[in-house]
Amino acid sequence: MRLLAALSIMIVLLVVMGLWINHSITEAAQELSGHVQLISREVKQSDWLQANKQIAELEQKWRQIGSWWPAVLDHQEIDNIEFSLAKAKEYLAAGDRVHSLAQLSELNLMILHLPEKESLQLKNIL
């Protein structure tokens, strides 16, 4: 009987921890996405100085938020985000509007894709 109770508690803790991690990743992704959208608006207004400041802030935020993600997420997805962020930073530094917007759009899509990919849904199980 004790074994069944211990196993039940472990399963409940595992599920709760998984839900908490999923919630944390979703919130972090929304926050990062907001930064990317702000940078995109700056680029559209041709405010390169502000856009470069914002991309530096985004990079710092990514370092803070993304530091624990490798423990629970696919490393390839995280590497792709880092590569995309590096490209966007260089396009912004060069003042290349078209490539900057394209790369920022791709970065935003990759960031928002992570919580969806990791969520507990039937399509992710099958």
Query: In this predicted model, what pLDDT tens digit does every residue of 63-85 receive, in sequence order?
Result: 988 777 777 777 888 889 999 99
When computed from its CA atoms, the radius of gyration of the chain, rounded to whole angstroms, is: 18
- Distance between CA atoms of 59 and 103, rounded to whole angstroms? 14
- The gap from C-alpha 70 to its chain's centroid, in whole angstroms, comes to 11
Domain range for 101 is 2-125
Q: Could you tell me the CA-to-CA distances from 50 to 45, 83, 93, 103, 114 in Å, in that order?
A: 10, 22, 11, 17, 27
Summarize pLDDT for 95-123 with one digit per residue, the tens.
999 999 999 999 999 999 888 776 666 55
Amino acid at 126: L
Q: Please tell me the pTM assigned to this model.
A: 0.83
29 pLDDT above the threshold of 60: yes
Q: For the chain, how many structural domains are there in total?
A: 1
* Per-residue confidence (pLDDT) for residue 46, from 0 to 100: 92
* Per-residue confidence (pLDDT) for residue 71, from 0 to 100: 75
CATH code, domain carrying 29: 1.20.120.290
Q: Are 61 and 32 in contact (CB under 8 A)?
A: yes
To which H or E segment does residue 65 belong? helix 48-65
- The gap from C-alpha 101 to its chain's centroid, in whole angstroms, comes to 18
